[in-house]
Amino acid sequence: MVGNHAVAYAVKQAKPQILAVFPITPQTTMLEKLAEYIDSGQLKAELIKVESEHSAMASIYGAAVAGARVFTATSSQGLLYMTEMFYWAGGQRVPIVAAIATRAIAEPWSIWDDHQDFVSKRDAIWIMTMAENVQDAYDLTIQAFRISEDKRVLLPVMIGFDGFILTHTMERLEVLDDETVDMFLPKRDYNLIDFNDPVNVGPIVTPDNYIKYRYEAKKAMDRAKEVIEEIAKEYEKISGRKQYGLIECYMCEDAEYVFLAMGAWVGDAREAVKRLRSKGNKVGLVKIRTFRPFPKERLVKELRSVRGVIVFDRAYSFGSGGVLANDVKSALYNSGIDVMSVIAGIGGKTVRPLHFEKVMEEVLEGKRFEERWLYE
């Protein structure tokens, strides 16, 4: 299946009641698939054909508040247009699942892949996960509903998966049977609309208390780290596929230098590691599967014996640095580990295993850099 269809299939199995999606490349074929599932009766849900992404998130927010399991998907400009409602849903801590087919932000116009849209939501109080391949996108979607609705968490969850590279690429996919998904995803138990016990959902809050709500959200985000790992373990049992909740360490045990990245190009980095290892180099790879909450503690633990980390970023904080690189530097503060930042693949610029290999070889030869753009 292609990535868009894999996510749509996972959504069908999760049985949401209300969906609202607005078309945007490269997400659109997922919307079409979902419409097909609903039309043919394979998914008993309502798809609200909204007039904008802002309304897509607003309408599923309304449905979620009244107890529905909900889903939406978007990309790039659509995600930006949704921004206000994204924060709204995160602030209210309503369980919602959204899939983001990552894509560069205009202008200049680009329909191609990078992570600038995805990382723009990092402070919206959403759990953010990122898939490496189509299988990952499917597995993460099923787990996202469970994480989002977990009583210890109650936060919306987004799944990022690279536009075109995953959304439109056919890969072999193992799916769970419907009964297994039903058992894994218990009936949703979250509702704020009770006519016998009416509440004011999202009113003005006095300065004395606002910070308390935010502190509660922070604690939920912290708790989510454990919950994500726990749910990944359980999913591993039912699927028979190795799952990595927060991060995956590939050949890290004796590694002196590691790549760190998230998204589809983790596959390229993996290939580069294999090639470099075959030449006798002690290198490894850390894949960030959960970007928020950021797996700080795990990173510190797993990287304690490496000499350097090369962070590959597909998104940039202008005037500051690579978005992932900044997080990694902050996590490894005072550890003495060299963190080098590579900015590449912006706006769909091709990156191959060779690119990873070349950068690593230079580092192994003793070259050091703070930040480097692969723009040629």
Partner 1 sequence: MSEIPEYIKNKRVIREQHFYRGNAACPGCPIPKELDLLLEVMGKKTVLVVPASCTTVIMGDERGSPSPVPVVHSPFAGAAAIASGLWRQLRMRGDTDAQVVVWAGDGATGDIGFSALSGAAERNENILYVCYDNEAFMNTGIQRSALTPYGAWTTTTPAGKREFKKPLPFIMMEHKIPYVATASIAYSFDYQEKVKKAKGIQGFRYIHLLSPCPPGWRFDSKYTIEVAKLAVETGVWPLFEVINGEFRLTSVSKTLLEKRKPVIEYLKLQGRFAKLSEEDIKIIQEAVDEMWEYIKQLVKK
- Nearest distance from C-beta of residue 180 to partner 1, angstroms: 25
64 is an interface residue for partner 1 by CB under 8 A: yes
Helix 353-364 with 266-278: angle, nearest 10 deg: 50
Stretch that binds partner 1, among 138-146, 203-211, 319-327, 366-374 (CB under 8 A): 203-211
| H/E stretch holding 224 | helix 207-239
Sequence-separated (6 or more) residues with CB below 8 Å from residue 36: none
- Given candidates 10, 30, 31, 63, which one binds partner 1 under the rule CB under 8 A? 63
Contact 247, 288 (CB under 8 A): yes
The distance from CA 297 to its chain's CA centroid, rounded to whole angstroms, is 19
Stretch that binds partner 1, among 108-116, 119-127, 197-205, 351-359 (CB under 8 A): 197-205
11 is an interface residue for partner 1 by CB under 8 A: no
204 is an interface residue for partner 1 by CB under 8 A: yes
- Nearest distance from C-beta of residue 151 to partner 1, angstroms: 20
- Given candidates 18, 119, 173, 343, which one binds partner 1 under the rule CB under 8 A? 18
Half-sphere exposure of 150 (CA within 13 A, CB side): 21
Residue 186 to residues 181, 190, 220: CA-CA distances in angstroms?
A: 9, 12, 20
Q: Site map for partner 1, 19-58, x if CB under 8 A?
A: -x-------------------------x-xxxxx-xxx-x
Rounded to whole angstroms, the Cα distance separating 132 from 112 reads 17
Interface with partner 1 (CB under 8 A), residue total 41
- Given candidates 62, 175, 307, 374, which one binds partner 1 under the rule CB under 8 A? 62
Rounded to whole angstroms, the Cα distance separating 102 from 118 reads 6
- Given candidates 106, 170, 183, 199, which one binds partner 1 under the rule CB under 8 A? 199
Residues 238-277 that bind partner 1 (CB under 8 A): none
Stretch that binds partner 1, among 195-203, 274-282, 313-321, 327-335 (CB under 8 A): 195-203
The token pair that represents 347 in the structure block: 């706006």
- Nearest distance from C-beta of residue 38 to partner 1, angstroms: 13
- Nearest distance from C-beta of residue 15 to partner 1, angstroms: 12
- Given candidates 61, 71, 138, 235, which one binds partner 1 under the rule CB under 8 A? 61
Comparing CB distances to partner 1, the nearer of 58 and 332 is 58
Angle CA 273–275–277, to nearest 5:
65
Sort strands 46-48 and 70-74 into parallel, antiparallel or unpaired: unpaired
AA letter at 222 = D
Stretch that binds partner 1, among 100-108, 149-157, 193-201, 225-233 (CB under 8 A): 193-201
Q: Site map for partner 1, 221-240, x if CB under 8 A?
A: --------------------
- Given candidates 41, 108, 186, 203, which one binds partner 1 under the rule CB under 8 A? 203
Contact 302, 286 (CB under 8 A): yes
Stretch that binds partner 1, among 205-213, 276-284, 301-309, 314-322 (CB under 8 A): 205-213
The token pair that represents 192 in the structure block: 């704020």
Residues 307-366 that bind partner 1 (CB under 8 A): none
Residues 79-108 that bind partner 1 (CB under 8 A): 84-85, 88
Sequence-separated (6 or more) residues with CB below 8 Å from residue 222: 293
Exposure string of 32-67, with b = 16+ CB inside 10 Å and e = fewer, is: ebbbebbeeeebebebbebeebbbbbbbbbbbbbbb
Neighbours of 23 (CB within 10 A): 15
Half-sphere exposure of 204 (CA within 13 A, CB side): 2
For binding to partner 1 (CB under 8 A), which residues are involved? 17-18, 20, 46, 48-52, 54-56, 58-68, 70, 84-85, 88, 192-195, 198-206, 209
